Amino acid sequence: MAVSTDASYNASSRVIYHRVDIYLDGISATPLSVTRDDYVVTTSLLEEATSGDTPFDTVSSNEFTLSLLNEESIFTPTNPDSPYYGKMKRGVKIIPFLRTSELDDWGQIGEFYVTDWTASPTSSTATVTADDKLYNIFGQDAVTMPVVSDEAVSDLFTAFFTLFDIAPVIDDTITQTLLKAFNEMENKEFLSALSTAFLLSCNYGHDGLIHIRNLRTAQTLRATITDADQVISVDVKLSITSDYDSAFLTYYVPQESAEGSVLSVNEVALVEEDNTLVYALDNTPLIRFKSVSFNNEELLFVLVSATATSKTITIMISGVAHEVVTSLNVRGIYLEKIAYDLGTQEENSLTVDNPYIQDTQSAVDYKAMMDQFTTGVPPIIQATIKGNPNLQIGDKIRLISTRYGIDFTGLLMRQKFDYNGGLSCDITLLNSALIEVAS
């Protein structure tokens, strides 16, 4: 068997079957499978490349919401009589599936982990919210990465996700390199800035893997949706009105500094015998650490080690004869980023400020592409359709509606599926002509 086809999802007489697997006993155990026939009341699935309508925005995680019939408080987390008591908690894995025929295989539409499970003892329904692994990455401490010269963008993504034991699926058309690769941001901001600089989408696919897709590479049409099959309504107003009146770009040319102070601390209190000192550096990201010095002529000690990352330094010393207050200076070479602006910033400017756009020619080309979003050409279109879960974020879609006078080809940037026995979907398409480069 195979998963349900586009044709079966487009059929006017389609039937939607929905199953949700909840791994209450761990990922290696048999999950609790729920459907419309037993506990599932409604579900909602939000997938998006960015949190905005353009690629110049913030990378977003996907979210799945499940409403369960809560007979006899079976899905109330605080109910000790529930067979699932103690198991309804954060981190539980959830995988939703859809199909249009009992003869088809179930089609997986993501992989999620519970972030909230809510139901009072008297609630008729329980609400479960689950997010993908990007959500977890966003909430963790910022990744520390060394400064690397002439780093391939694909390698930088791989190095980042490897720290979370994740192997991303990266388009082989992503061949650009960075003059200086580095990270001084929180995890979400880093992925957003890197994706924005090279016009990439970074999101979890239906297969439960992170996909890095090149939005600029011209691709073949994935699907055509029309009044006759998928279209329910089209938001014409948003599709003909641009939110921007100009484009403004700030880019940064990186260079190595001369050797100088990267940390200066006036008062360092040392205790007798052993000390471990950890400081955030004043000038970052550090490329090369050169020296450590303490300003106290009477201070005698043994420098055990001094190790530095791009952001911090850890110094271990021993043999301090007595408590003393001294000063500390650390010298090294760090990355300087010289800022340049293109365009005139207006009240409604489309603004990009990005440290990964690192040379003038790339910046000029990027600004020219940004200008296209301010010329009155429809940048986006929003529509409500019946929903085809075979479509993925980044796919190229043509929407034709005689009823709304629309013929629009765009990249799928957002889709929100709602299930209540039937299935519908709100989508956002980004005008592919504004971003794709002919191959």
Q: In sequence order, which residues have a C-beta less than 8 Å from that of residue 390 and are 6 or more positions away?
A: 3, 4, 5, 6, 9, 107
Structure-token pair, residue 337? 């980023």
Tokens of 353: 């400020």
Burial class of residue 190 (count of CB atoms within 10 Å of its CB; 0-12, 13-18, 19+)? buried
Instruction: Identify the pLDDT of residue 122.
Output: 87
- CATH for 24: 2.40.10
Q: What is the pLDDT of residue 439?
A: 47
Residue 80 lies in a domain: yes
Q: Does 386 map to a domain?
A: no
Q: Are 257 and 283 in contact (CB under 8 A)?
A: yes
The total number of residues written for the chain in this structure: 439
**Could you tell me which residues come within 8 angstroms of residue 71 by beta carbon, excluding any fewer than 6 positions away?**
none
Location of structure tokens 């388009």:
171
Q: Is 188 helix (H, G, I), strand (E, B) or coil?
A: helix
Place of tokens 């550096």: 281
Can you say whether the dihedral through the CA atoms of 204, 206, 207, 211 is positive or negative?
A: negative
| Residue 77 near residue 88 (C-beta atoms within 8 A) | yes
Give dist(CA 240, CA 334) in Å, integer.
Answer: 47
pLDDT at 236: 64
**Cβ partners under 8 Å of residue 222, min gap 6:** 391, 395, 396, 397, 412
Residue 236 contacts residue 404 (beta carbons within 8 Å): yes
Task: Please list, residue by residue across 388-402, b when 16 or more beta carbons sit within 10 angstroms of its beta carbon and e when fewer do.
Answer: bbbbbbbbbbbbebe
Q: How far apart are CA 255 and CA 285, in angstroms?
A: 11
Q: Round to whole Å and give the CA distance between 80 and 410.
A: 51
| Domain membership flag for residue 351 | yes
The pLDDT score that the predictor gives to residue 242 is: 62
Q: Does 168 fall in a domain? A: no
Residue 100: count of CB within 10 angstroms of its CB: 22
Question: Which of the residues in the chain have pLDDT under 70?
Answer: 236-242, 438-439
**H or E stretch including 196?**
helix 187-197
| Residue 383 included in any domain | no
Residue 176 belongs to a domain? no
| Structural domain includes residue 29 | yes
End residue of a domain, out of 75, 101, 132: 132
Q: What is the pLDDT of residue 412?
A: 96
Among 324, 345, 373, give the residue marking a domain's end: 373
Range of the domain at 297: 245-373
As for how many domains the chain has, the answer is: 2
For residue 26, tell me if it sits in a domain.
yes
Token pair belonging to 180: 């200086």
What is the predicted pLDDT for the residue at 238?
Answer: 53
Q: Which one of 373, 397, 421 terminates a domain?
A: 373
